[in-house]
A = this chain, B = another copy of it.
């Protein structure tokens, strides 16, 4: 049987240790092609490059024997997936994995996440896709403890297929031995930003975005709860954003006469 073709990408850039760990793990399962940003793209959400040029080239990051095909791209994570599917790959990948992100993409962070935007882009194309994030922002984070679970989740996705219109958002707690895996919903929460205001030497005001995440959800079925209890959280995530339950409510507004 042909080995599954695995497209690997991320948003921290092609040299990120989290990507390298994901590549090593995926090579145990299938044939790996890497198309990843040439520079960090955190917080890019589902941005794509329109009205601007997109550079891409084949690169060698890892000189060991059996190193996978790797391409860097000047664009966003979503651009990487589009370029991989339309230009670089000669067959449709069996799965697309993104990450392992250096830092959490749980709760509302899914909205801002370049890691998840790559997975969602593949999902829109009907390709099973998973974003992985470790809740450790350090560049030197230890990815080893989570690689067994990453391999298991990808293998199960290849075996079972993905429910139509969904991708997985997997977050991994920063602990030596996660207790297991919980299938969760996205916790309600938001960011309480603080803008650090400064003045440039030439007198222009500018800001640095800082802030703290605020959890607004006490449920014990959420990703935040699972992570707080030492579990890996898996949230099936969709790109049909319709709030179906709200349709009858809006239909009651006074919008229909001319």
Contacts and interface: CB of A to CB of B under 8 A. Distances in A.
Contact of A193 (B86, B156, B245): B86
A1 interface: no
Nearest to A161: B249
Interface in A8-53: 40, 42-51, 53
Interface stretch (A62-70, A77-85, A92-100): A77-85
A208 B108 contact: no
Contacts of A54: 195, 206-209
A238 B243 contact: yes
A244 B153 CA distance: 19
Given A48-B112, A152-B255, A240-B188, A209 B79 contact: yes
B156 A254 contact: yes
Nearest to A189: B124
A172 interface: no
Contact of A237 (B43, B181, B243): B243
A21 to B, nearest CB: 20
Contacts of A252: 160
A160 B163 CA distance: 36
Contacts of A43: 47-51
Given A153-B255, A180-B256, 14 more contacts: A43-B49, A45-B48, A53-B208, A54-B209, A55-B204, A111-B124, A159-B254, A163-B243, A183-B247, A184-B247, A185-B240, A235-B241, A238-B243, A241-B241
Interface of A: 40, 42-51, 53-57, 78-79, 82-83, 86-87, 108, 110-112, 117, 120, 124-125, 152-153, 156-157, 159-160, 163, 165-166, 168-169, 180-181, 183-186, 188, 190, 193-195, 197, 204-209, 234-247, 249-256, 258
**Copies of this chain present:** 2
A88 to B, nearest CB: 10
Contacts of A255: 152-153, 156, 181, 183, 234
B242 A236 contact: yes
B181 A247 contact: no
B45 A194 contact: no
Contact of A242 (B47, B186, B209): B186
A210 to B, nearest CB: 9
A251 B256 CA distance: 43
16 contacts: A43-B48, A46-B46, A46-B112, A49-B209, A55-B205, A82-B195, A83-B195, A83-B207, A110-B241, A156-B254, A156-B255, A163-B245, A163-B246, A185-B247, A238-B243, A238-B246
